[in-house]
Amino acid sequence: MIRLSGVLRAGVAALAFTALAGSAGAADYPDRPITIIAPYPAGGGTDMVSRSLAAVLQEELGVPVNVVNRGGGAGVPGSQAIARAEPDGYTIGLVASDVSLYQPQGLSDLTYEDYTAIGQTNALASGVTVRADSEYETMADLVAAIEANPGELKGTGAAPGVNWHVAFVGLMLDLGLDPKSVIWVPTQGGTAGQLDVAAGNSTFATASLAEARALVEAGELRPLAVMTDERLKTFPEVPTLGEAIDSDWTFALWHGLVGPKGLPEEVTSVLVPAVEKAVQDPAFRKPLEDRGFTLVWRGPEQFRQHMAQDLEKMREVLGALEQ
């Protein structure tokens, strides 16, 4: 019979305890509050999605789920905070598609590869709007005016190099037009851009129709097209670019839940089904759909592939802009 020394017995006991503790910890996840970092200020789209999701998730997971806003710096600091968090499942975050814009513009080395994908939750499609009394009654009218009057029309909806500006640039490139032939008016977000058009300061906006909804319903703006493959449920009368001008260009700002790189399977096996269920919950869906969001569920692998494709698309568009 083999006799174990005291030191060896102690080592074996320690390993056994560690294994049991690890197993118990995985089985008990989550056993304390979870934080969702929203890399933008309170009141915006990312914050809205984060809080709607947190409210449903805490019911599903049985622990408090708190949203912490880390705004500023075009979302870079908050997005970095998610990537640098301890990979234990207690600090996760809701990233926006802006994360695909950082590396191509030299703002940060951060990409989708620095995260563990949990799932995409929604998308917010770009549209094209003009004043309700504009002479441009269709998307074809607007494109013809841009071609005929280089350097005269004004577009707006975001700061240069940010979401809705990228939507504009991609559209122009798809049509074989120089983005510089339109004067771009920077604004602090899509809502400000829609208001700028309604005030008559800019010719058109390429921000989301969700951000134009109140002004459209008030009869101040006219939507000409939406940058999607299919018409939006909230704006069924608005044609897609494909229908309006035979353009294949699509653009949507997306949101998705991620954790830091290396999130263990024991954690994702709990979070993924919980988030998928939350996205289907009317308590999550209704407030967002009422505001014009499109609910989209992509699981971890599909979401990761989508982020990879989006990064390549942004590299192409922003690379062309620099030429």
Helix axes 163-174 and 190-198, enclosed angle (nearest 10) = 70
Q: What is the pLDDT of residue 178?
A: 95
Split at pLDDT 50, 70, 90, the class of 22 is: very low
The fold of the 127-245 domain, in CATH, is D-Maltodextrin-Binding Protein; domain 2 (3.40.190)
Query: Does residue 293 or residue 205 have the better pLDDT?
Result: 205
Split at pLDDT 50, 70, 90, the class of 228 is: very high
Whether domain 32-123+254-310 has CATH 3.40.190.150: the reply is yes
Split at pLDDT 50, 70, 90, the class of 238 is: very high
CB of 126 closer than 8 Å to CB of 232: no
Sign of torsion, CA 104 293 278 46? Answer: positive
Per DSSP, 114 falls in state: G
Q: What is the pLDDT of residue 185?
A: 97
Q: What is the pLDDT of residue 198?
A: 98
SS3 310: helix
The per-residue pLDDT of the chain, averaged, comes to: 90
Q: What is the pLDDT of residue 323?
A: 64
Angstrom CA distances, 96 to 39, 124, 168, 244, stand at 8, 10, 18, 28
Alpha-carbon distance of 205 to 158, in angstroms, equals 9
**Which tokens belong to 247?**
């353009």
The mean pLDDT of 24-41, rounded to a whole number, is: 85
- Helix ranges (H only) for 175-220 are 190-198, 213-217
The mean pLDDT of 268-279, rounded to a whole number, is: 97
Share of the chain above pLDDT 90, in %: 77
pLDDT tens, residue by residue, 92-117: 999 999 999 999 999 999 999 999 99
Q: Pairing between strand 154-156 and 204-205?
A: parallel
Q: Examine the pLDDT at 3 and tell me if it is beyond 80.
A: no
Q: Examine the pLDDT at 1 and tell me if it is beyond 50.
A: no
Q: What is the pLDDT of residue 72?
A: 83
pLDDT tens, residue by residue, 136-174: 999 999 999 999 999 999 999 988 888 899 999 999 999
Alpha-carbon distance of 110 to 102, in angstroms, equals 7
Where are the domains positioned within the chain?
32-123+254-310, 127-245
**Which tokens belong to 82?**
């998610």
CB of 321 closer than 8 Å to CB of 145: no
Residue 305, amino acid: Q
The 10 Å CB-count burial string (b at 16+, else e) for 250-268 is bbbbbbbbbbbeebbeebb
